[in-house]
Homo-oligomer: A and B are copies of this chain.
């Protein structure tokens, strides 16, 4: 068994960098204009305009948290609120970064299976809010595609959420830390996987990148505003060309989708062995599997690394580099429990 298998299912966010990303970074070594004035960074708007088939503006960021929070800060005033799922990454795993970037705006928590929202779930949160100055008013919606439990919104589900949010005059953000996995699963156009939203955190780091995600806006004014806020948050790297290089390398020749398909396929392979143990359907590259303590011990004794998920389950994550034999080995091990 490969020694690497110990890390293989822990998290896509610690996976190696894809060779073509490395190549692109090396090719960017030659000095160029600093910050985002280099030749590569200046391509991002066009690249994302092409990808989404409508005018788009692309900024690199060094984390998904930064992308999410810079997006939110353009959509909600400090005294407003953002509706999101109770288990959204922005609520649970960003140490209050949304509160920092938005200067104290509130996350308004909605419920939904598998960390997915519906218009009805959103409405249950916002309908009771009195329209007066004593209560925080909702200004935006943030959903995660694929969700924190690896579920994927269909284009129709997305469209319904977007329609509802527009009717409420909300700005709309999609946290796409694993957007590639969602598009790979759906097999649809990227634009249909997020809908007519305002801002998308387009994940690259979990998908073969090193330290660059993209923040895509569909409004120039919002992008311009976010550039000031990005600088003000200490996020404007001087050698930004290395970040742009990563994003472009992933976008070129569809590497982003190929990587996501590989991760999804490995997850599907394992899922087939899990049967009733699956807490959620496996649509992207995460598996939440019912395994009790001694079963987890057994898996770890066989060399597999993963995170516990509460007392009775475990989370396994595949990545662009998950080897077929490792996926099969894990499938067999789970099957054999």
Contacts and interface: CB of A to CB of B under 8 A. Distances in A.
B239 A79 contact: no
Q: Which of A79, A134, A234, A236 has the most CB of B within 10 A?
A: A234
A17 B33 contact: no
A234 B101 contact: yes
A105 B229 CA distance: 12
B33 A239 contact: no
A66 to B, nearest CB: 3
Contacts of A13: 34, 238-239
A92 interface: yes
Interface residues of A, number: 72
A62 B237 contact: yes
A239 B242 CA distance: 15
Q: Which of A10, A15, A70, A211 has the most CB of B within 10 A?
A: A211
A105 B101 CA distance: 12
A162 interface: no
Interface string A224-248: 0101111111111111001100000
Contact of A104 (B30, B96, B206): B96
Contacts of A133: 35, 95, 227-228, 230-231, 236
Contacts of A135: 92-93, 95
B100 A96 contact: no
A54 interface: no
A135 B94 CA distance: 6
A96 B211 contact: no
A168 to B, nearest CB: 17
Q: Which of A96, A133, A227, A229 has the most CB of B within 10 A?
A: A96
A78 interface: yes
Contacts of A69: 234
A63 interface: yes
A84 interface: no
A20 interface: no
Contacts of A30: 4, 7, 16
Interface in A171-227: 205-206, 210-211, 225, 227
Contacts of A62: 62, 211, 234-235, 237
The 7 closest A-B pairs by CB, nearest first: A99-B104, A66-B234, A13-B238, A7-B31, A65-B234, A14-B34, A95-B231
17 contacts: A7-B33, A13-B238, A14-B34, A14-B239, A17-B29, A22-B26, A62-B237, A63-B236, A63-B237, A78-B99, A78-B103, A95-B134, A96-B106, A99-B105, A205-B239, A211-B211, A211-B237
